């Protein structure tokens, strides 16, 4: 695959301190610039920004995928297989509640992948996935 440039994602949170703890301590994201209204985080080389929105409500809609209710919207990163396993273990050790526990989706099919879903403290859904064969990322 070609070299990928970092993406930027800004998303609403209702509590910056809880977000700082979750993204910094639980997910292991280093913190960049911040103010009393937002915090930049380094999510595996990508810039995500938690913006304070005290009115943010938790509305989780889902679509069926491979027998699971996948939350929409969601964001995350495709990690190398071993790094995904390490993150899954770290989240389990931190007692993170999963919407979809870590598992192998589409096992034995095109697009086979490891995946997991969970919410941040403001109800934003995150998915982290991994492929043993990254060429399967966009396979049909």
Number of domains forming the structure of the chain: 2
CB 53 within 8 A of CB 11: no
Per-residue confidence (pLDDT) for residue 17, from 0 to 100 = 97
Residue 1 lies in a domain: no
* The last residue of a domain, from among 19, 34, 52: 52
Residues 69 and 99 placed together within one structural domain of the fold: yes
| Per-residue model confidence as pLDDT tens digits over 89-111 | 999 999 999 999 999 998 888 88
CATH number at residue 26: 3.30.720.120
Backbone angles phi, psi at 41, to 5 degrees: -130, 150
The confidence band for 2, taking pLDDT boundaries of 50, 70 and 90, is: low
Q: Which tokens belong to 100?
A: 């979809």
């Amino acid at each position: 695959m070609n070299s990928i440039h970092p993406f930027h994602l800004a998303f609403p949170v209702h509590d910056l301190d809880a977000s700082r703890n979750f993204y910094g301590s639980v997910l292991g994201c280093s913190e960049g610039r911040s103010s009393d209204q937002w915090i930049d985080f380094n999510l595996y080389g990508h810039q995500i920004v938690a913006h304070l929105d005290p009115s943010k409500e938790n509305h989780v809609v889902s679509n069926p995928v491979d027998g699971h209710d996948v939350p929409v919207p969601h964001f995350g990163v495709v990690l190398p297989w071993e790094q995904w396993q390490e993150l899954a273990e770290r989240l389990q050790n931190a007692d993170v509640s999963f919407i979809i526990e870590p598992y192998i989706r589409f096992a034995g099919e095109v697009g086979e992948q490891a995946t997991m879903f969970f919410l941040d403290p403001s109800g934003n859904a995150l998915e982290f996935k991994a492929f043993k064969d990254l060429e399967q990322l966009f396979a049909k």
